[in-house]
Amino acid sequence: GIKVIAPECFGNNENLDMVNLPEGITTLGYNSFQSAKCNMNIPSTVKYIGRCACEQVRLDSLILPEGLVEVGHYAFGGSNINGVVRIPSTLKNISDNMFLEARINRVEFSEGLEEIGVDAFFRCTVYDSNAIRFPSSLRRICSGAFSSSRMKNVIFTGSLDTIGAMLEGSPIEHCRLSNSEPPMLYPTFFNTQMLEEIQI
């Protein structure tokens, strides 16, 4: 009958090896499992994941459920995800630093995603060499979204209207582009030494 895992409930608990969360849980509070370094699952009933909630955990896969509407900053930063990460259509925004320095085998995006936040995949490693295809619904990519990340083949579809810029290491909030202008790739948008192909 538990619906909510409270903020900081199991954070920094290095004695946890495994967490089995039951169906019915709707909320993982901020820092609820931060640095627990445990294996865990995300129930299909979860609607909200707080800031740093699952930072540095281990997951066999991360199938974020349809119905999920908000994920806080750094939610999965530094985590090791052996299987697929699947972003649901109900999640419109990948928050700032959501997968910072995470290690992911494969990532899949659903139509419905509109924005990728600041440093969302900063220093993130994606091991699957297949192309990563972003949905046509994607409109905004904020500064540093893929800075220093390891992604080899990336395909953008649809009509991007915003790609964030970096100025002396600080993010400019947005760079507006009209539909008649090609998107500009700013420094730190991708680490070009690690990128083999990009299509926009």
Q: DSSP string covering 95-137, please?
A: -TTTTTT-EEEEEEE-TT--EE-TTTTTT-EE---SPEEE-TT
28, two tokens: 């993982």
Asked whether the beta carbons of 105 and 128 are under 8 A apart, the reply is yes
Greatest mean pLDDT among 65-69, 116-120, 160-164: 65-69
Nearest Cα residue to 189 out of 152, 164, 160, 153: 164
Distance, in Å, from the CA atom of 141 to the CA atom of 161, rounded to the nearest integer, reads 9
Write down the pLDDT at residue 73: 94
What does the pLDDT average to over 159-180? 52
Nearest Cα residue to 139 out of 181, 93, 188: 93
| Residue 37 pLDDT greater than 90, yes or no | no
| Residue 170 pLDDT greater than 90, yes or no | no
Out of 81-95, 100-114, 156-170, which region has the weakest mean confidence (pLDDT)? 156-170
86, two tokens: 């699947």
pLDDT category of residue 150 using cuts at 50, 70 and 90: confident
What does the pLDDT average to over 68-79? 95
pLDDT greater at residue 190 or residue 36: 36
Asked whether the beta carbons of 112 and 92 are under 8 A apart, the reply is yes
pLDDT greater at residue 97 or residue 176: 97
Write down the pLDDT at residue 143: 77
Write down the pLDDT at residue 189: 56
CB atoms within 10 A of CB 65: 16
pLDDT greater at residue 158 or residue 116: 116
Distance, in Å, from the CA atom of 144 to the CA atom of 154, rounded to the nearest integer, reads 16
Write down the pLDDT at residue 164: 64
CA angle 186, 191, 193 (to 5 degrees): 125
pTM of the model: 0.81
pLDDT greater at residue 87 or residue 13: 87
Distance, in Å, from the CA atom of 133 to the CA atom of 86, rounded to the nearest integer, reads 12
pLDDT category of residue 192 using cuts at 50, 70 and 90: low
Out of 120-124, 155-159, 178-182, which region has the weakest mean confidence (pLDDT)? 178-182
Distance, in Å, from the CA atom of 10 to the CA atom of 32, rounded to the nearest integer, reads 5
β-bridge pairing 153-156 and 103-109: unpaired
What does the pLDDT average to over 44-64? 93
Write down the pLDDT at residue 194: 56
